[in-house]
Chains A and B, each alone.
Chain A
Amino acid sequence: MRNVLAIANKELRAYFASPIAYIVIGFFALLYGFFFVAILRYFVGQSMQAGVMGGAQAMNVNQQLVRPLLQNVTVVILFLLPMVTMRTYSEEKRSGTIELLLTSPITDFEIVMGKFLGAMALYCAMLAVTLPHLAILFVYGHPEWKPLVTAYLGLLLFGGCFVSLGLFISSLSKNQIVAGAVTFSVFLLLWVITWIGSFIGPTGDKLTSYLSIVDHFDDFTKGIIDTTHLVYYLSFITFGLFLTAKSVDSERWRG
């Protein structure tokens, strides 16, 4: 565990020593701020309209503001996370520092876990940017906090999947740009896979919706922790980390 934390710490510091962390967090804050304002304005407009029309019940902040907002956040994450993970292994391989890690008395899995936790820590820093905005909602409205907690749990798991997959793809190439482009394409594919589901019939629809990384996120925003989704995300993350460890190991054999 000490080794895992040492590597995670080194990874996190590397993000902040290079412009990556600032760019990713900065642009995330910008995009998130934009979505927040846009969705908030829409929500306020709708509320006013409902007030004038004399709607039967008050509008639900969680359902009509937070949920679409966080769904937009997942899109932003899809674009930004490849930038976080693309360098993890590629950079070490290119600069030769991988030799230091692989000849140190630590296991491949400890290295993978360290890198995973380091990237997750950066991801958490990214998500922390979203909290002040939500605090504003609490000041002026009455959102429920429980669905928010589950939604953030969902976001963490969702990001975890992308990070573990990104690590794996980064472990396959010496070239950061290649790793980034492939990661981005695979993320996108996992996103849009449901679009073809409807063409292949009801079974295909179910199958693609199960595979889609986003469809599993939806229930979390409603305040539901469904074990189906938990199992999906956790097994996705585990599998990604397993593949990464195996990929590093196979590299040794191939030389």
Chain B
Amino acid sequence: MTRSVKTFRFAAVSAVKHAYVPEAVARHPRFDIVVVTDDADSPSWVHERNEKFAEQQGVPYVMGVEKAIEAFTPEVAVISSEAERHCDLGVRAANAGLHIVVDKPLSPSLDECNRLLDAVKNNNVKSLVWNRNFLPAVLQAKQVVESGELGDLVAAHCDFYFAKDAGPPKGTSLPAPINWLERQQDAHSDGSDGGVGIRALGELEIEGLYPLAYLRMLTNAPIRRVFARTATHFHQANVDNEVDDLATVTLEMDRGITGSLCIGRIGAASHPEIGEIKLHLLGTKGGIVISEPRPEVGFYYKGQSKHDYNNYRVANDNDYLLGDDFANAIDNNADTILDVEGGRDICAVVQAAIRSGRSNQAEEVTTKST
């Protein structure tokens, strides 16, 4: 039996982070990886990781993004570089006419997000910012909201705590401040290098996109103003690099919807699983409390590694559905579940929250036109 639908050739444009995004796209039947590429002047550790990933995927690694695009004529670029390079790579891919998939966060720089948004629009290409909106429990929340059972949504809250460590705990006496990039490189082996890059990123910047994408999808209401408290409470790397590992954000949205985000990388000891991740949605007729990891299956056995999670998520089609969503957007000139514009808006919320954490004042969220 042959597949009748078109598949898209994609280039993995940098795969220096834990490569779950290009791996997920490569697993999808509508996408074929044809090359891994990155800028030739990247440091050696970047090339090493890219080469390793290319070898795993059985495709060439080409130093020089434009050179790879010209030689392999991909239709899609899947970008999983350091966050600070996401947008620049995305702009160049979009200008070459490629549709783009970008790992989260879109960028720590709102100007860069705006530049990429312009490039995507000007080149009329599709975009997808990697997210978790297709997790089964999140889809269940969406279904309940859309059913009208809750009435009009008036409040939406997300608690998003990752029970992970990030190097030495706060207060650890070290001979020198922790270098952010080196710490992230060390964390690559266990997949906790979500903030990989030269620029240090707080938890709001690294993971904030996930919960804010939930709330964006569920409320369909832009966030206009935020008030935030941010802190470094857990990890010495965050202290040394002056970025948050715990934050609370009050969200004021269109249609008078109020919400909140509590987010943190709160240490592996704080929860037996990946962390307590929840949605609390309240409407004029009722509310719903959603545990994001469900459905899951628990495993406990002799000799179990303490580094393993005891609960495994099951029936999780998030990656597959993201691929479907992106392919559908290209096929039918449709919107994706979270495009660059959405990623840009979330970046604006995160930046406003960081400003608020410093000013102790409510901060307006910067819109594209302003």
Partners in one complex: no
Chain A interface (Cβ < 8 Å from any Cβ of B): none
